[in-house]
């Protein structure tokens, strides 16, 4: 379960000239007055939402509306300025695949490094190593340096590692399926399995069909911290992206 309570997050919008350390030494007063002029961009404002076990929360909104920021907040890589996010269960983030990949290391070492960072134990990864490479359809490349993999192979391996990190809450930032048609099918099967096992899912997407098919809740971020939460099934079925387009 994820309980988001009055969460606020903003960033400094560096749209004006920022001062240097030199200007700080020369004129401290001016440095701080100029620094105060940097506009603050409110991305998430007073957001409260509870995502129950087995819920599929689809987060939609135009670019820059705070979808990825919300994903980072739930994944725990970033912290809210105000408010509390309470999480019960282990989170597996699919925010970006293969972030810890190193081209010089071989497939086995990369699986070990990425797996450990995703919270799996070393013994579990060693035990699942063959399964990971078999799912990624690259069994024979297990000892090959990653630099000799195609980008498709790298993506498949990254997906396969992440999907072996069994958790309670899964966050997908527009990544659900990678690779060729047959691999996409495998990824979708994995997703269906998650749904069947009543895993909590936070899905950031622009895909309306997906939203209508799977969402149990829609969090629609309008930008500048404004949001609406759609919870009734009839509203979800009738949801359209038109308001997003009209906002752009």
Q: Where along the sequence are the contacts to another protein (CB under 8 A)?
A: 11, 21, 72, 75-79, 91, 93, 95-96, 99-100, 102, 104-105, 109, 112-113, 116-118, 121-122
Instruction: Extract the tokens encoding 57.
Output: 């929360």
Give 113 or 142: the residue with its C-beta nearer to another protein: 113
Rounded to a whole number of angstroms, the minimum distance from the CB of residue 80 to another protein is: 8
In 27-37, which positions are buried (b, 16+ CB within 10 angstroms) versus exposed (e)? eeeebeebeee
Assign 65 to helix, strand or coil: coil
Rounded to a whole number of angstroms, the minimum distance from the CB of residue 228 to another protein is: 26
Give 144 or 216: the residue with its C-beta nearer to another protein: 144
Give 123 or 182: the residue with its C-beta nearer to another protein: 123
Of 242, 168, 244, 241, which Cα lies nearest the Cα of 211?
A: 241
186 phi, psi to nearest 5 deg: -65, -40
Assign 131 to helix, strand or coil: helix
Assign 190 to helix, strand or coil: helix
Rounded to a whole number of angstroms, the minimum distance from the CB of residue 173 to another protein is: 9
Rounded to a whole number of angstroms, the minimum distance from the CB of residue 237 to another protein is: 33
Rounded to a whole number of angstroms, the minimum distance from the CB of residue 209 to another protein is: 27
Alpha helices, DSSP H, located in the chain:
21-26, 28-35, 67-75, 107-117, 122-135, 151-164, 181-196, 208-214, 233-237, 242-247
Give 83 or 243: the residue with its C-beta nearer to another protein: 83
Give 105 or 208: the residue with its C-beta nearer to another protein: 105
Q: Phi-psi region for residue 66, left (φ > 0), alpha (ψ -120 to 50) or beta? A: left
Give 201 or 230: the residue with its C-beta nearer to another protein: 201
Rounded to a whole number of angstroms, the minimum distance from the CB of residue 163 to another protein is: 15
184 phi, psi to nearest 5 deg: -60, -40
Instruction: Extract the tokens encoding 204.
Output: 């950031």
């Amino acid at each position: 379960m994820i309980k988001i309570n009055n969460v606020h997050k903003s960033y400094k919008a560096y749209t004006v000239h920022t001062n240097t350390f030199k200007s700080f030494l020369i004129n401290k007063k001016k440095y701080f007055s100029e620094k105060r002029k940097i506009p603050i961009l409110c991305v998430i404002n007073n957001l409260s939402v509870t995502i129950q076990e087995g819920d599929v929360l689809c987060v939609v909104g135009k670019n820059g509306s705070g979808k990825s920021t919300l994903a980072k907040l739930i994944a725990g890589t970033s912290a809210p300025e105000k408010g509390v996010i309470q999480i019960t269960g282990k989170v597996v983030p699919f925010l970006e695949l293969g972030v810890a990949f190193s081209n010089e290391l071989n497939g086995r070492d990369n699986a070990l490094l990425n797996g450990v960072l995703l919270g799996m134990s070393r013994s579990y990864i060693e035990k699942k190593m063959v399964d990971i490479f078999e799912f990624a359809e690259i069994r024979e490349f297990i000892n090959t340096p990653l630099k000799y993999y195609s980008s498709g192979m790298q993506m498949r391996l990254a997906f396969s590692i992440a999907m072996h990190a069994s958790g309670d809450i899964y966050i997908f930032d527009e990544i659900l399926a990678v690779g060729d048609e047959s691999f996409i099918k495998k990824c979708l099967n994995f997703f269906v399995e998650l749904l069947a096992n009543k895993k909590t899912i936070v899905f950031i997407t622009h895909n309306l069909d997906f939203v209508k098919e799977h969402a149990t809740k829609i969090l629609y971020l309008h930008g500048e911290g404004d949001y609406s939460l759609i919870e009734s099934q009839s509203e979800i079925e009738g949801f359209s992206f038109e308001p997003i387009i009209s906002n752009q």
